[in-house]
């Protein structure tokens, strides 16, 4: 059995939640005005949650990028130090 990626699982979760919400709205005994108000609230809440998720993902990506840059800087310093030591050893030899 093929395993699903996180992206696919998130898409299935969102699709399932949306389908469930639609079915719940269709079978709810509410007036049209109340239903539209509920849909507006649900939409706003969903958009806010997606915005929060997007900001969280951007923050994590930014942190990861900063960590990669830090590792590259450390490697560069390590190589420069090794180069200086090698030159010093070659001069004294």
How far, in Å, CA of 77 to CA of 7, rounded? 37
pLDDT of residue 85: 92
Residue 1 has pLDDT above 70, yes or no: no
Return the pLDDT at 35. Answer: 78
Given a cut of 60, whether residue 25 has pLDDT beyond it is yes
- The pLDDT value given to residue 41: 93
- Residue 83: CB partners within 8 Å, gap ≥ 6? none
Residues 6+ apart with CB under 8 A from 60: none
Contacts of 3 (CB under 8 A, 6+ apart): none
- Token pair, residue 20, equals 């469930």
pLDDT above 70 coverage of the chain, percent: 97
Whole-structure pTM value: 0.48
Residues 42, 80: Cα–Cα separation, whole Å: 57
């Amino acid at each position: 059995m093929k395993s699903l990626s996180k992206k696919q699982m998130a898409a299935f979760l969102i699709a399932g939640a949306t389908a469930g919400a639609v079915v719940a709205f269709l079978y709810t005994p509410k007036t049209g005005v109340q239903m539209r108000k509920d849909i507006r609230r649900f939409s706003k809440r969903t958009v806010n949650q997606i915005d929060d998720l997007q900001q969280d993902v951007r923050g994590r990506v930014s942190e990861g990028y900063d960590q990669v840059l830090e590792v590259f800087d450390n490697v560069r310093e390590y190589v420069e130090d090794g180069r200086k030591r090698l030159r010093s050893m070659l001069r004294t030899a």
